[in-house]
Structures are given as C-alpha cells and as structure tokens.
Chain A
Amino acid sequence: MRRNLIATAATVAVVTATAGFAVLAGSSGSTAAGTPSSAYAFAAEGALPFAGQPYVESSDGKTQTANLVELPDNPLAALGAGTVSAGDNKASVEMLNLSVGGGVFDQLPEVPEDLKKQCDALPDTGIGDLPVPELPAIPALPVPGLPDLNDLPDELPADDLRELCRLLLTPPSSLVGLDLLKVSCNGATGTVEMGALTVLGVKVPAPAMTPNTTIPGGPLFTITLNKQTKNADGSFTVKGMEISLGGGAQVITFGNATCAKFTKPTKPTPTNTPTAPSPTPVPTNLPVTG
C-alpha cells in the first residue's frame, strides 16, 4: 500500500515537472491488410465508454477529414476544437484547449463553514500533522483500485491539508488541461507534439519523452504519452495521451492516429461463398396487391 501511494506521489511530481513543448518520433513497422487508416480526437473505455469522436477512416485510400467544435456534454473531457484526418497510410489529429475532468469541480460538495474556518486558520508554513476537519460526504468508489476518501485519517500533513483547502475553496477549471495536442502517423512513424500543460490549474513544464513514456501512478492511474503500437494486422497506431484510471477500469485516450496501407478489398468469390438454393414455398396467408 505504501509503495503504491508513494508511487502516486511520484507520479504527481513527474506530472508537475513536465515541460512546455516536445516533438517525439517513433519506430518502424509494416503494412496493413484490410485495416483502414483512422483517426479520432477523444475516446474512453471502461466504466463510461465513449466512442471515438470525431472519427474518420479511409476505407478507400482517399483522405477523409472531420472537424469537431466541442464534445457532447460529459464530465470526462472537453475540447475547444479538433480536426482529424485519415488517408492512405497516414493519419493525424490536432486539437486545441482540451481539458480533463472539468465537470468534476462543478460537482464538489459545498464546503462546510468549519472547514472554511480551519482553512483560514492554517499556518502558511510548517509540515506538522494537523487535524482533518469534517469533510463533505464523498460518493463511494465503484471503480476498482481507487481508495475510499471517506476513510481519511484523523490528521494530515499540513501541506496536504493546505492543498486540500486550495482545491475545495478555489477549485481549478480542470484536472488536466492542454492547450495543444498534435498526433500524427505516416506509415510506421508516429509524432506527438504537446503544448502547455496545466495540472489542477497550475501551468507545469513538459519533459522530453521517448515513445511509450509511461508515468505509473500505482493503483490510481497511469499516464502514457506518445503510445505507439504495431498492431497484429500490420497497422500502426500512435496515441498522444492515454490516461488509465483504477488499473484500467477507465481509460481515456486523446489523439489516436492509425496508419495502414490501403489494399483493395477482395470480394468473396463464388467458390468460398455458397450459392443460395431455390426456396421451398411456405404455406401461409399474405394477401398481396393482385
């Protein structure tokens, strides 16, 4: 337990230490057989499935493009704008002003007066443990692997308590914000560009990252940046940012581009599709138009 939670703290440290702008390049791969190139800006799997949006694929090798002004209302994520494109062995996603969990802070319980008073009375410095005031009831967690925060200790380190007060009294607009994310693949090469990253309302730098950079967060979450996959069918996929919550109970993907070389589909031939037989008339009554 301690190891996992410490890993969480380490994750936070890594996330908050990330830096401004990164261009990342990927590896080699092979051609696909039957899978079209495709792209989408946002998708989620798990407790709340969310089909990729906007989604395009190139079933005939011609470039298909779609734009999205905003996502349907949901508490997972929001986008300022998104453009996706897929063609013969190429695909790209570009999105602006994405945020994760913006709706969460709108649903925070009202802060009790006692907590406000205690927050106001917190010393500016000092790391000693302080009593935890009574917090608003927090819904139980049906997502496996996540802790129950109704089971907080009676005391917390002062810095954690100060952070808790800041979040409850002045909630940020989102959990994670990113002003630009570009994801593209060309054949078996993937590229990811990230703009300024904001975590809990605070701008943080982004590190230079190699493909498949994984930031473990114990049982809570894992963030994978520039995730590149050679698929079994020969296609190649690059994901800009993947956030896995609760050991995979909820997986959020931003910017997915899959590249596949267009191959003309082969139609079933009479030799492998059986010829339909003559029907046997069925006794029944159906007045027809005569």
Chain B
Amino acid sequence: MFASCHPRQKARTRPREQAGEQGRVSATMLVLTLLCAAVVVWGVNSRSDDFDSWDEQPDLSNLVASSTRSTLKGAPRDPAPRAATDGAVVRPNQATGVYDAPRGNAFGKIGRNQFGPTWLPVIAEEDGWVQVLLPSRPNGSTGWIPADRVQRQVSPYLIRVHVGSRTLELFFEGKRTGTWPVAVGRPETPTPTGRTFVLGSIADATQSSRVILPLGAHSQTLDTYGGGPGTVALHAWSDSSVFGTAASHGCVRVPDDALDELTKVPLGTVVLIDRK
C-alpha cells in the first residue's frame, strides 16, 4: 500500500530539481505524528494514580503522614500479627511515600523523625521493597517502602506481653532475659493484642514514669485519652500493687527494674501482645 513514496517538493520555495532534498512525506508520517501528539495530549490529561510511577516520589503534600496521631486509610493489614521477625528495623532517609504494595500506590507518607528518630520493624521484603509496621491507626497497619529509601539496623530484642497472665517477657538474641508481672488494660479498656513496636522513648514531665515507651498501637476503646491520641505505651507505675492485674486504660505498666531493661531496647523493636 506504500508501494510508492515519491520525492516531494515545496513548489513555491524550491525548484523542482531540489525535490529530492525535501525527502518524502507519506501518510504513515501523518499517522505517527498524530499518534505521538495524541499520546502527549492524553498523557497530560490523564496522569493519574493509575499510572503513578513508584520509582518517583509522589506528591507528598497530598498525603497524610503516618504518626501516632493520624489514621491512614488503605494501609494493608499486618498479615502475621503473632509472628516475630528477624529483627530488621529501618528508618527513612527522608520523608517518603508509603505504598500499598511493591510498585503499588502511595496511600500515605512517613517522616524521618517522630519522637526522635523513626525506626520501623520490617515484617516482609520483596524485590527491593520492605514492608513495615506503621505507627498510625488502625492497629496492624503496614506499608511498603523502597528499600533504597531507608537506613537499616538490627534489633536483637523482642518483647512479649501476655494479657491473660499479665506478664511481660524480654528476649535478647532469642533468649529470655527477664519476666515481670505487669498491669494491663481493664476489661472496658483492654490492651490491644497483635504485633506492634517500640515507637519512641520519651521523658514527659507531666507524667509520673521517668521514661515512657510509646508503642505503634492504640486503644481500640478510647479515641483520645488525656489529650493524647490513645497511644498505648510501656511505662513504670509508682504503686506496685497493680502489677499482675488488669488496671490500666490500655497501657502496660511495668516495674522499675523492668523499665530499666526496656529502656535499653532499640526503637523499632517488635512487641508481640497476645491473650495468653
């Protein structure tokens, strides 16, 4: 159908003998031209989340930051809320998008600092991506981050809280190094079970414990408490009679000697809370 593509000429500007220098114009050129023009027009009009390129940072200004004070919709749920990890923890090199899957869509963002540095436990890895637990509501929220956007360390610790027996166990490199009776949430304000992590280590002059370890979990019965977002924490308690009881509003109250050990635990360390 393109059996002939003849030299063209620009009759009014060039003599016929120079027609060969003009090259050729074919209908195919027109079609390709229109194709490319249409592609560009369509591309401008339809750049959307459907084709959000994961290897470029999304527009962070439009995303909600994952923090203990926020709720993120669209976060994948923790697929194994009872499982320990290999101890890997990561910290964003800079504010970064958080995605619903490797090469997926960004549904939020996470910053480099919250209470001091933000360290998140890695619960899965896939093709250059890490899946981490998030500090935002709802409990059990996770997100995927490109592995090249985070700094990596290893925590040798693991904390287990048993709501049923009201005890806390601390493990170092797989070996139990301590067990303490603790106070857990009352039946009407229970300590939420599942897999969470040590989000921060803070000294709050308005609260009695010399150090408080906020976790990545929240009370599921209290949206707010004392002006805070209902963050569950590990902290000391002055009245030792509470240990071994269900007396708190969701936090885990621990003896002073337990807190001495728990304050050595790196940020991002996994905390497994179960009903045992």
Contacts and interface: CB of A to CB of B under 8 A. Distances in A.
A74 B42 contact: yes
Interface size class of B (residues with CB under 8 A): 35 or more
Contacts of B203: 281-284
Nearest to A139: B37
A283 to B, nearest CB: 5
Contacts of B127: 36, 57, 59
A157 interface: yes
B225 A274 contact: no
B5 A12 contact: yes
A154 B10 contact: yes
Contacts of A138: 30, 33-34, 37
A170 B177 CA distance: 81
A130 B266 CA distance: 81
B40 A290 contact: no
A13 B33 contact: no
A276 B23 contact: no
Interface string B1-17: 11111111111100000
Nearest to A35: B127
B149 interface: no
SS of A interface (majority):
loop
Contacts, number: 273
Contacts of B205: 283, 285
| Residue with the highest number of chain A CB atoms closer than 10 Å, among B30, B36, B202, B268 | B36
Interface size class of A (residues with CB under 8 A): 35 or more
B245 interface: no
Nearest to B249: A289
Contacts of B21: 1-2
27 contacts: A2-B20, A50-B51, A51-B51, A101-B35, A108-B34, A129-B6, A138-B34, A141-B36, A143-B36, A153-B11, A153-B25, A154-B10, A163-B27, A164-B27, A202-B1, A220-B29, A279-B200, A279-B267, A282-B115, A282-B201, A284-B204, A287-B206, A287-B227, A288-B212, A288-B251, A289-B185, A290-B250
Interface of A: 1-2, 4-6, 8-9, 12-13, 16, 36, 47-51, 55, 57, 59, 72, 74-76, 100-101, 103-104, 107-108, 127, 129, 138-143, 146-147, 149, 152-157, 159-160, 163-164, 166-167, 175, 199-200, 202, 220-221, 245-246, 249-250, 265, 267-268, 270, 273-290
